[in-house]
């Protein structure tokens, strides 16, 4: 399975650069403002500048060791591939008796990064027990089960991810939903399941351009080029400004 992509930021890269520069200037006159420094570190982390973010988070924690700052530091360490440091940081959060699902999820990812798949699975199950609709944790656990050669269990978890995609899609504003279903499209069983679910969803909600676009991706992954083109075209009929669908349609 293709690894789950990092969620995209709500801010453009240019805006994040502006936020970094603005916060850097403010910190020159107010260096002890840990909230300001944390905002600076968050923007650096979203830009992928992990070493700088780690440095700023550590400065924050030296003056205020809040669980939130520790959790953010752990994520930056994880994204930088510093798995042992990430594990020890997330464990500090857990020791504070805070049962945050994302802490257990990221702790599981860190153990997976260092190659301890069984421990990673244990932690991901803990995260899922706290949030049964935690798509990222379900997807991550499915990948681990696949790596452990527990194929049937992995497929079951992947199908949960697909089911949650449609269940939550109907409850949210389409513009606020950015989960990339195409990460599942390198498995033929899941392609078939996705096509079936997308068709059912479209029957009930025919006005969602994104549903047609993802149906096009599923058809494309299955090798059905004409069907994919028709789905992309339908997405453009509903939303003529859907540039991703436009590029998919015209690349044919």
Domains and CATH numbers, the chain: 175-252 (1.25.40.10)
The whole-angstrom separation of Cα 215 and Cα 232 is: 8
213 closest CA partner among 167, 186, 189, 178? 178
Q: Cα 136 vs. chain centroid, distance in angstroms?
A: 6
Residue 14 has a pLDDT of 58
| Cβ(108)–Cβ(124) below 8 Å | yes
Angle at 189 between CA 243 and CA 230, to 5 degrees: 35
pTM metric for this prediction: 0.65
pLDDT of 192 over the 50 cut: yes
pLDDT tens readout for residues 209-220: 888 888 888 888
pLDDT of 11 over the 60 cut: no
pLDDT tens readout for residues 113-158: 999 999 999 999 999 999 888 888 998 999 999 999 998 898 888 8
The whole-angstrom separation of Cα 106 and Cα 12 is: 25
More reliable by pLDDT, 166 or 81: 81
Confidence of residue 161 (pLDDT cuts 50, 70, 90): confident
pLDDT of 45 over the 60 cut: yes
Q: What token pair was written down for 156?
A: 């079951």
Q: Going by C-beta distance under 8 Å and a sequence separation of 6 or more, which residues neighbour residue 188?
A: 222
Average predicted confidence (pLDDT) for the chain: 82
In this prediction, what percent of the chain has a pLDDT beyond 90?
33
Average pLDDT over residues 196-207: 79
pLDDT tens readout for residues 48-107: 899 999 999 999 999 888 898 999 999 999 999 999 999 999 999 999 888 889 999 999
Q: What token pair was written down for 208?
A: 């969602």
The whole-angstrom separation of Cα 108 and Cα 153 is: 18
In this prediction, what percent of the chain has a pLDDT beyond 70?
84
Write the CA distances from 98 to 13, 92, 101, 138, 146, integer angstroms.
32, 10, 9, 21, 30
The whole-angstrom separation of Cα 245 and Cα 33 is: 44
What stretches of the chain show up as alpha helix (H) in DSSP?
13-29, 34-46, 50-63, 67-79, 83-95, 101-113, 117-130, 135-147, 151-169, 188-204, 209-222, 225-238, 243-250
Angle at 85 between CA 98 and CA 147, to 5 degrees: 85
């Amino acid at each position: 399975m293709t690894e789950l992509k990092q969620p995209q930021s709500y801010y453009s890269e240019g805006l994040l650069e502006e936020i970094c520069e603005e916060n850097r200037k403010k910190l020159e006159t107010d260096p002890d403002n840990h909230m300001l420094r944390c905002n600076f570190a968050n923007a650096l982390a979203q830009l992928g500048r992990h070493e700088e973010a780690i440095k700023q988070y550590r400065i924050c924690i030296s003056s205020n060791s809040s669980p939130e700052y520790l959790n953010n530091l752990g994520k930056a360490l994880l994204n930088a591939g510093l798995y042992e440091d990430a594990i020890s940081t997330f464990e500090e959060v857990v020791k504070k008796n805070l049962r945050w699902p994302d802490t257990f999820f990221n702790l599981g990812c860190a153990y997976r990064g260092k190659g301890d798949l069984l421990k990673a699975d244990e932690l991901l199950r803990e995260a899922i027990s706290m949030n049964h609709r935690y798509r990222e944790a379900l997807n991550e656990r499915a990948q681990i089960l696949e790596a452990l050669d527990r194929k049937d269990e992995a497929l079951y978890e992947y199908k949960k991810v697909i089911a949650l995609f449609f269940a939550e899609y109907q409850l949210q504003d389409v513009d606020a939903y950015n989960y990339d279903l195409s990460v599942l499209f390198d498995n033929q069983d899941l392609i078939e399941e996705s096509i079936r679910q997308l068709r059912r969803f479209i029957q009930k909600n025919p006005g969602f351009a994104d549903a047609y676009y993802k149906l096009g991706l599923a058809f494309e992954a299955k090798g059905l080029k004409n069907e994919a083109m028709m789905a992309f075209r339908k997405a453009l009929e509903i939303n003529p400004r859907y540039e991703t669908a436009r590029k998919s349609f015209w690349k044919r």
